[in-house]
Structure 1
Amino acid sequence: MAGLIREVPAVGRAIDVLDLFLDGKGPRSVAEITAALGLPRSTTYELVQTLVARRCLRVVDGHAHQYDLGLHLFELGSAYGDSIELTEQGQQVAQEIVARSNETVHVATLDGAEVVYLVKAESPKTVRMVSAVGRRLPAHCTAVGKAMLAGLDDEDVVARYDDVQEWIRMTPNSVASLPDLLAELDRTRQRGLAVDDCESNVDVRCVAAAVRDASGEVVAGMSISAPAHRADERADELAGYVSEGALELSTRLGYRRSTR
């Protein structure tokens, strides 16, 4: 049946355990968890011990039989909050850049050797694009992907492509080998901008810049896409817009450029 979700009972019970702590009443024992959920004590004990091992629960200092929420939940919550902030702020900045440039703007993040599009702010002009929010594309075929890959060490880039047997080429212009990609990333670092010369769409050119967080790490990329003929005519202008947009989004995420 379409839309049917099959739940794993053990996972559901583990989440039920964690949900008990949403009441704000603090630590509790295995006996209290057992009574609240109506589970066998042995089952509850195994669930609690697994959650402790995974740092989702912790033993309360000085109270060996009392448990409270663990650090891993804070880490997950922080990561979720960061992703929401990136998407929300990215949408706002992308819309501002579209209003100034009249071209399509994307914000994407890097997952392995692929980009995942988080934001797409459409140009008021009709442009045929291969991108969509939530869609994945090979990072080496996109300007936004190359902007993020350029923020990594070559060793990290090589590791991401270690298992690639045959390189995906979205157009005849797509980068087709690891040596070519590394050379392109070196040029990207020198320019401070990445380009997609009709490499993901034969009719579209893109320019992109990296987005950094408060720690200075590259967490996303922003790109501007335009039909090839228009991109050629406005190359410097679009490069300026995307540089400004990426810096604005980085600033909103807490990044501060060094003044040294």
Structure 2
Amino acid sequence: MVLTGSEARFVLTVECDQLLRVGDRTGKSLPAHVSSGGKAMLSVLDDDALGEALADLEPAERARVRRALRAVRQNGFAINNELTEAGLTAIGVPVSWADGMTAGISLAMPTARFSRDRVSGWVQELHGCARAIEKALSAATA
């Protein structure tokens, strides 16, 4: 995902082969402050850029989102538990590279498959994937 203003835009998605799954979202956008990848991207922005991304929110909502983003920064990941769609849960992490460029990746699943016991393993895999993407992007721009 990439941040476009206040939205997280899916640039590429990969679907699993399970019958019950989250479909292709390539090209779609969701409000960044509720999507897992969006929250992950927002969490690494500097204060000015974050202010711009949240400018359209009501003051109380903006304050709530800023508090939530502090937890995302501390934990290193974000969760969207049915905030964008009933029955969907996702975990997201940021991908950062040259000159402060930021993207995000997420693992989305039907809520019925989500298990808090598996979060740390999923987050570890997502961070490994993010580091591999950062390395590839850095090599491509060098």
TM-score, structure 1 length as denominator?
0.49
**2:105 alignment partner AA:** M
Q: Which residue of 2 aligns with 1:239?
A: 123
**Are residue 224 (structure 1) and residue 117 (structure 2) matched?**
no
Larger Rg belongs to: 1
How much has 1:204 moved relative to structure 2?
A: 1.5
Q: Which residue of 2 aligns with 1:181?
A: 65
Identity across aligned pairs (percent)?
25
**2:52 alignment partner AA:** A
Q: How does 1:15-164 map to 2 (within 5 A)?
A: 108-127=1-20, 129=22, 132-164=25-57
**Are residue 200 (structure 1) and residue 93 (structure 2) matched?**
no
How much has 1:186 moved relative to structure 2?
A: 0.4
1:54-77 alpha-carbon deviations (Å, 9 max, x no partner): xxxxxxxxxxxxxxxxxxxxxxxx
1:77-100 alpha-carbon deviations (Å, 9 max, x no partner): xxxxxxxxxxxxxxxxxxxxxxxx
1:112-153 alpha-carbon deviations (Å, 9 max, x no partner): 100111010001113454761111111112000001001112
1:203 and 1:252 mapped to 2: Cα distance? Answer: 33
- Give the ranges of 4+ consecutive aligned residues of structure 1 lying more than 4 Å apart after TM superposition: none
| Structure 1 unmatched ranges of 5 or more | 1-107, 167-175, 256-260
**1:134 alignment partner AA:** G
Q: Secondary structure at the match of 2:13?
A: strand
Structure 1 residues 127 and 115: CA distance shift in structure 2, 3 A:
farther
| Structure 2 unmatched ranges of 5 or more | none
Looking at both structures, which has the greater relative contact order when contacts are Cα pairs under 8 Å and sequence separation is at least 6?
2
1:22-43 alpha-carbon deviations (Å, 9 max, x no partner): xxxxxxxxxxxxxxxxxxxxxx
